[in-house]
A and B are shown apart, each in its own frame.
Chain A
């Protein structure tokens, strides 16, 4: 009997009916109200607000493989969460008047590199928000940035920074923060990079770039040679609409976060679409202008669901 009532209560819960008699009976019988879930979603945290654990239009996320999750929002706050989405601490970017960051990555040694987009620099913090340093300045020359968007690290400790606007390129920096090289400034298959917003180095030590406004992924060797590209504008599998972020899964496939496509798409390295997850909406399992996605501990994927001001955790 109680199982039947619990099932009924579950139906009510799915229909988002609250306070019904059925739910009351179910609770009397000891049924836990079932979570409203969709396929693969194992957690949602955040919500609109300026309080701890809340977001005001979060735009970038990075997760340590065994540790915390960092999110930066359009309020200029970098917040740290446990893998289960429990708020741990936060810090503010030193300056936010011109604009707020759109990218950040955790270095394997625990430092947090934030692409301080509108101040044309990359700022380095420890995991508690203590400012350790920064590099880059506004300009078009070597070692200068025009709206940096993301950061990536290779196995040798070199740092890669993507930028757009007038530069639309990737710059490579030594582990001691010296400019090494810039690449991606020429046409690639007939088009220059246009707003590269996501960077990741895969296990084969090649650099993947989410070339957002060209709706494609570009693969570079670490010395800047173009290895291959794939993707085009569209909604079909294998196509993309403004890929804003890219991450590598433990099984070495590519996870692409599509800003306008409102979905995640997994690709093999030769460009085959393996899986698609999500669609536009407000409910769990749905996305609204997601800016970033990152693999975290235990194979979880953390998606920053920007216009829903939340992070969704999924197990693909």
Chain B
């Protein structure tokens, strides 16, 4: 059973990303949407923890939300795959469960 974890708040504002990455199991996936996309930009305090988390699970970021915040051309943390909304839908269908970390 695999879980798609969705985080929508910046880790510099809320603790949901920290709570998520310490509670996932291998084979899970993480999708960053809305304000959480800032965590996928390299060079912040979340670069190392997310690179490490990426060893056990796949990392995705919603590219439209990244572009809306001006980070479209920025360098991303290693291991992140950008997806559009159809990619988002496919991820939800692929995994057995979805968990929105609100």
- Asked if chains A and B come from one complex, the reply is no
Measured CB to CB, the residues of A under 8 A from B are none
Measured CB to CB, the residues of B under 8 A from A are none
